[in-house]
Structure formats: C-alpha cells, structure tokens
C-alpha cells in the first residue's frame, strides 16, 4: 500500500529552474553522443542504448513536470536507468566512440541526476514518516478530552497564525504610512498634476473600453424611468402612509437625547481621572506597539518575505482546490438532487409550521372565549351576591 503513495510533496516543490537544470544535463549528454554513428561508422549497442535511455529519461521528466506527481515505481525505474547509463557510458568510452572529456562530462551529469532522484527518495521516506506521525497524533487527539483537544488545536494553529499576523502587521504598517504620506502630499503641485494625469488616462481608457455597454445601459435606464412612472400611484400611497410617522419618529430621538443629557453631563464632570488614566495607558500601549514591530522585523526581513511567498502559494492552491470542488459540486447530479430535496423539505417544513401555528391559534381563540364566558359568569354571580348582601343589611 505504501509503495503506491505518490510523491506529490517534493514534485510540487520542484521549480521551473529545477526541471530546466535536469533537462540541461540530459541535453549535454545527448550532445556528447551526437557524433557517434556519423561518417559511416555504426554505433555500438551500448551507445545506442545510452541514447535511448537519455530520451526515456527526458520523457519521464516531461510527464513528471506536467502531472506534478511521481510514484515509487517510476522513481525506482529512473534509478535503474541511471545505473545502466553509467555502465553503457563506460562501454562507449572503452570502445573509443567518446573521448575521456566526453565520458567524464556524461558521468558527471549522471551522478548529478542520481543525487537529484536520491533526494526525491529521501523526501518520500520523510513523507511516509510524516504520514505515520500525523496518524498517531490523530489517534491521540481523538482519544483525548475536550480541554486537551482545544489545547492541541491552539498549539497546532498558534504558529501559523503568528506568522501570518506578523507579515500582515508589518505590511499594514507600511501601507498606513504610504496612505498618510499620500494624504500629506495631496496639496503638492507635482502630486496633483500626476494624479490628474492618471485620472484622465484611466477615465478615458475605461470610457473607451466600456463603449459596448452604452446601448444596453441607455435601454436599462429608460426602462427604470418607465417603471417608476408606472409605480407613481403606489409610491404616493406609501409616502402618504409614512407622513403621520414623522413626528413620532423624530420625537423619539429628541426624547432620547433630552433624557440622556443630565446623566451624561454628570459623567463628563467626573471623568477627568479616567481620561488621565486613558492617556497614560495609550502611551504605554504605543510603546508596546513600537517594541512589537521592532521585535517582529529585527533580523527577519527575508523570513517575512518567505512567509508572504508561502501564504501566496498556499492560498493559490486552496483557492484552486476550492474552485475544483465547487465545479465538481455544480456538475454533480446527485448534489443537484440533494439541493432540490433540501429546498422542498424546507418549503414543506414552513408549510407544516404555518398549519400548526394556525391550529394553535384556533385552540387559543376557543380557550380565550371559554375563559371570557367563565369570567363573565363569575362577575354576574358575584354581583348578584353583593346585591343580596346589601339588601339584607
């Protein structure tokens, strides 16, 4: 089972430069063999096989670059090919088909490629150990208590959150001072001239680009005007209904302010010590903020750049996976059926809930009428008793 796990981690991390370097080694080896078989001389079996293996490796590298994955079987096949190429290079050198310099150049490139593929193998073993460790942590997480789970989640997230927060804070600080500088220089003649030029260029460019929208926009605007003309009676009725509300609506706010002002005035008279404490606290917080930014950036310029690169690459992969997932869900007939069923279920649930409330309302109305009748009878009875008592007196 483990042999079939793909090396997606390492291969995804290979850059365009890595592939270019590996292909460059193959190209150099092919160039050192180009002269073999020319001039009527037949190439030996070893030289022919060496050329064929070079082409085979080139095709494998192309597949790996396009797919982004490499299985252990493919990796072992590449290693076996490189070992055979070393033997064939020695045989070709001994047969005199390549000179010593060419032989040394070819073997040097073969050794370089073997180191590259050995690195992939080590990464695979490390990846497998990582998978096992993640499994062990997962079991421990599932068997732990609620407090321990929360603590482990915090431990797992606090590092990445701290990295992201650090670069966001530093970047926001730079952006804030750029904005402050732009605001301070808004009256500068050069800045004003440059801004006006930019505004003119952007405006004219967007106007020219948006020309195809002119006809549809004119039609839409005309249709909106016609719709409002048709709605005039309803709008008049709506505004007429709102007219009696104005006095109470405005009066509510004036009553609020008038009622709150006495207490607010007392609070303001007694707030001098609180404001003094606030001023001292803001000074301390400002010192802390400055020390925090200094600690984040001290000796970490390249690390902060790396975090942004990691965030960008990671979010790109997440968004791509999200797009693929959403596309798959949109394409799925099963999910579409589930959506229709869920909406039908919600519709039915609201209908049943409406019926239930109406039924309860009918029951409540009957109960209310019954209690009112009982209450009226009791009042009549008590009133008669009072009259008898008063006549006896």
pLDDT, one tens digit per residue, over 100-113 is: 888 888 888 888 77
Q: In the structure encoding, which two tokens stand for residue 348, read together?
A: 């039915």
Per-residue model confidence as pLDDT tens digits over 338-383: 888 888 888 888 888 888 888 777 777 777 777 776 777 666 666 6
Q: Is residue 137 part of a domain?
A: yes
Tell me which residue of 64, 70, 71 sits closest to 18, measured CA to CA: 64
- Ramachandran region of residue 156, left (φ > 0), alpha (ψ -120 to 50) or beta? alpha
User: Looking at the predicted structure, is the pLDDT value of residue 136 above 70?
Assistant: no
Asked if residue 58 is part of any domain, the answer here is: yes
The string of DSSP codes covering 149-216 is: HHHHHHHHHHHHHHHHHHHHHHHHHHHHHHHHHHHHTTT-HHHHHHHHHHHHHHHHHHHHHTGGGHHH
**11 is a domain residue:** yes
Q: What is the pLDDT of residue 70?
A: 60
| Reported pTM | 0.43
- Residue-range definition of the domain harbouring residue 21: 2-143
211 located within any domain: no
The tens digit of pLDDT for each residue in 35-61 reads 665 655 556 777 787 778 887 777 777
Q: 45 and 104 in contact (C-beta within 8 Å)?
A: no
Percentage above 90 pLDDT, the chain = 23
**What CATH number should be reported for the domain holding residue 12?**
1.10.132
Q: Which of 73-77, 115-119, 171-175, 192-196 has the lowest mean pLDDT?
A: 115-119
Mean pLDDT of 136-141: 60
Q: What is the pLDDT of residue 310?
A: 84
Q: Is the pLDDT of residue 178 over 70?
A: yes
For residue 391, being part of any structural domain is answered with no
Range 10-23 average pLDDT: 58
At 3 the pLDDT is 40
Establish if 343 belongs to a structural domain.
no
pLDDT at 283: 93
- For residue 135, what pLDDT is reported? 60
Percent of residues in the chain assigned helix, strand, coil, to nearest 5: 90, 0, 10
Q: Of 109, 107, 117, 129, whose CA–CA distance to 14 is shortest?
A: 117
Evaluate whether residue 127 is within a structural domain.
yes
**Cα Rg of the chain (Å, integer):** 41
**Predicted confidence (pLDDT) per residue in 246-279, tens digit:** 999 999 999 999 999 999 999 999 998 999 999 9
> Is 323 a member of any domain?
no
Around Cβ 310, how many Cβ atoms within 10 Å?
14
Task: Give the number of domains in the chain.
Answer: 1
pLDDT tens by residue, 232-246: 999 999 999 999 999
Q: What's the pLDDT score for residue 280?
A: 93
Mean pLDDT of the chain: 78
Q: 65 falls in which pLDDT band (50, 70, 90)?
A: low
């Amino acid at each position: 089972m483990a042999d079939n796990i793909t090396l997606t981690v390492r291969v995804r991390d290979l850059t365009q430069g890595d592939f270019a370097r590996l292909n460059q080694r193959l190209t150099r080896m092919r160039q050192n063999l180009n002269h073999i078989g020319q001039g009527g001389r037949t190439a030996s079996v070893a030289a022919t096989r060496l050329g064929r293996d070079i082409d085979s490796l080139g095709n494998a590298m192309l597949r790996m670059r396009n797919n982004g994955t490499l299985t252990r079987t493919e990796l072992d096949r590449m290693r076996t090919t490189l070992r055979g190429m070393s033997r064939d290079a020695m045989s070709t050198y001994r047969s005199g088909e390549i000179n010593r310099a060419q032989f040394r150049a070819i073997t040097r490139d073969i050794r370089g490629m073997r180191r590259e593929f050995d690195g992939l193998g080590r990464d695979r073993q490390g990846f497998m150990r990582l998978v096992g460790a993640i499994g062990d942590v997962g079991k421990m997480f599932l068997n732990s208590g609620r407090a321990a789970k929360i603590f482990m989640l915090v431990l797992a997230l606090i590092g990445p959150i701290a990295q992201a927060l650090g670069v966001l804070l530093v970047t926001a600080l730079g952006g804030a001072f750029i904005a402050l500088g732009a605001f301070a220089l808004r009256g500068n003649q050069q800045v004003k001239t440059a801004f006006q030029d930019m505004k003119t260029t952007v405006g004219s460019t967007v106007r020219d680009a948006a020309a195809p929208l002119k006809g549809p926009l004119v039609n839409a605007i005309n249709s909106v005007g016609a719709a409002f003309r048709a709605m005039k009676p309803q709008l008049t009725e709506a505004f007429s209904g709102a007219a009696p509300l104005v006095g109470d609506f405005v009066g509510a706010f004036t009553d609020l302010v008038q009622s709150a002002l006495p207490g607010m005035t007392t609070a303001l008279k007694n707030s001098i010590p609180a404001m003094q404490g606030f001023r001292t606290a803001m000074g301390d917080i400002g010192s802390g903020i400055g020390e925090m930014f200094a600690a984040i950036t001290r000796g970490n310029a390249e690390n902060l750049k790396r975090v942004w690169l990691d965030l960008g690459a990671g979010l790109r992969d997440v968004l791509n996976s999200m797009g693929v997932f959403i596309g798959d869900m949109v394409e799925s007939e099963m999910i579409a059926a589930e959506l229709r069923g869920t909406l039908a279920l919600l519709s039915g649930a609201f209908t049943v809930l409406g019926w239930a409330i109406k039924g309860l309302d009918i029951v409540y109305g009957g109960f209310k009428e019954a209690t009112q009748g009982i209450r009226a009878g009791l009042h009549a009875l008590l009133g008669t008793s009072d009259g008898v008592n008063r006549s006896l007196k």
